[in-house]
Amino acid sequence: MPRQSHTLTLAGAAAVAAAAEREAAARGARVVVAVVDPAGRPLVLRRLDGTQVASVDVAVDKARTAAIFRRPSRELEEQVRAGRIGALALHGAATLTGGVPLHAAGAVVGAIGVSGETPDEDEAVALAGAAALAEAPDGAAGLVAERLVLTQAEAQRVAAAAQEAAEAAGVAPVVAVVDDAGVPVALARPDGSQPASVDVAVDKARTAAIFRRPSRDFEDQTAQGRVAALSLRGATPLMGGLPLVAGGQVVGGVGVSGASSPDQDEDLARAGADALPPPEPFVLDAAAAAAAAGILFGQPGYKVDAGRRDEPGEVEYHERVTDVMLVQEGTATVVVGGEMVGVREVSPGERRAEAVTGGTTHRLSPGAVLVLPAGVPHWFTEVPGPLRYHVVKVVG
């Protein structure tokens, strides 16, 4: 199963950009602020009034540099200043100060780039945006989302399965496996394969990954007269590329080129895609479950948490998360529904309040199951002793 990581959400990117814009306004700076995902693709762009047009592309370039090199773009500019001129040739790098990676949950979840003022001012504005994520209340809840990332071992497994099928069929094509951004992770080029197939296999895999569909779709479109599809940037209209799907997400793509026919290219790609292992079951025995704490298991869309409460808390409201709770130990009183009083937003989609008026009161004891639908406030008003429970959090 691909490993779990995180990425910036649109709400998270907007929060980072807004914080940077506030810092720019406080400084009287005229800048462009760009926020990108981990692959360097833009999520949000803000061009402040009066900012030079050229800064639009520069801000995106700085952000992309910080994201894909996983370091501040200042470090690359400093290399050039120190005499390492060859750094100017780094593919995808803008060796200009003002790009800062965004970290959350132990991963680079994106980056921010700023352009328009001096290098130091650009970076100061970018750092203010990054701080909004690092210092967000309740961690980065609502600002980042879980994602699955294709590992090298799994990419090699996909490539090996396609190659094994090719050998059984007596052909020697090139097999390429890319991540969800279309960047190569593994490549198998058997003896006797044509050199031209290396680039073609990568192109097919990239097409399937970034468009999240088989590359055959684009060949069919052009064959049926939609020649305009040839203008799609990043699309190779040749069959033989398939998306790799795990946990309901596209985690990459596999492309095959150089077999005896386009149909065979696709068949071999499918043999590789079928080798991607399915999600593994998660089992915890009763003793381990009773002693567990924190997140037990998680996938994009849901997670299982072993929780504990020792006292009443604030009113909670989750806009997109439904909680299904099973009480293991202790008792509590919880009020569900009603109107929140003294509401404040702690992160996108997450609110807290001082109290609720109205609502329905429930008494919880061991074995009780409580379902808290998304968008419904809930308030633990009495917790006389330790309350231990397991909760499945489902993201709508």
Query: Same structural domain for residues 258 and 294?
Result: no
Task: Give the H or E element holding residue 133.
Answer: helix 119-134
Q: What is the pLDDT of residues 47-65, one digit of tens each?
A: 999 999 999 999 999 999 9
Residue 279 lies inside a defined structural domain of this protein:
no
Q: In this structure, are 31 and 85 located in the same domain?
A: yes
Do 140 and 246 lie in one domain? The reply is no
pTM (two decimals)? 0.75
In sequence order, the 6+-apart residues with CB closer than 8 A to the CB of 342 are 353, 354, 355
pLDDT at position 347: 74
Cα separation, 346 vs 321, whole angstroms: 15
Confidence (pLDDT) at 170: 96
Shared domain check, 296 and 222: no
Tell me if 298 sits within 8 A of 146, measured CB to CB: yes
HSE-CB at 347 with a 13 A cutoff on CA atoms is: 23
Residue 162 domain flag? yes
Q: What pLDDT was estimated at residue 277?
A: 77
Q: DSSP assignment, residue 228?
A: G
Residue-level pLDDT at 334: 96
Which is nearest to 183 in space by CA: 159, 163, 203, 197? Answer: 203
Report pLDDT for 305: 85
Establish if 281 belongs to a structural domain.
no
Do 13 and 139 reside in the same domain of the chain?
Answer: yes
pLDDT of residue 142: 79
**Owning domain of residue 382:** 286-395
> Which residues in the chain land under pLDDT 70?
1-2, 137-141, 279-282, 284-293, 298-300
| Domain assignment present for 102 | yes
Q: What pLDDT was estimated at residue 289?
A: 67
Both 139 and 173 in a single domain?
Answer: no
Let me know whether 193 and 135 are in one domain: no
- Asked whether residue 317 is domain-assigned, the answer is yes
* Beta-ladder partners of 344: 352
The CA angle 29-32-38, to the nearest 5 degrees, is 130
Which of 273, 303, 325 finishes a domain? 273
Looking at residue 282, its pLDDT comes to 67
Closest CA to 22 of 103, 140, 128: 128
- What pLDDT does residue 376 have? 95
How confident is the model over 346-379, as pLDDT tens digits?
777 889 999 999 999 999 999 999 999 999 999 9
| 338 and 369 co-located in one domain | yes
Confidence at residue 280, expressed as pLDDT on a 0 to 100 scale: 65
Of the residues 147, 177, 209, the one at which a domain ends: 147
Structure tokens at 220: 């069919």
Q: Do 141 and 40 share a structural domain?
A: yes
Q: How many domains does the chain have?
A: 3
Q: Is residue 261 part of a domain?
A: yes
- The CATH number covering residue 303 comes to 2.60.120.370
CATH number of the domain enclosing 156? 3.30.450.150
Structure-token pair, residue 271: 């043999």
Look at residues 148, 125, 128 and name the one whose alpha carbon lies nearest to residue 276: 148
Residue 280 included in any domain: no
184 and 224 share one domain: yes
Query: Is the residue at 40 inside a domain?
Result: yes
Residues 207, 82 share a domain: no
Chain position carrying tokens 């680039």? 199
Last residue of a domain, one of 108, 131, 147: 147
Residues 173 and 83 in one domain: no
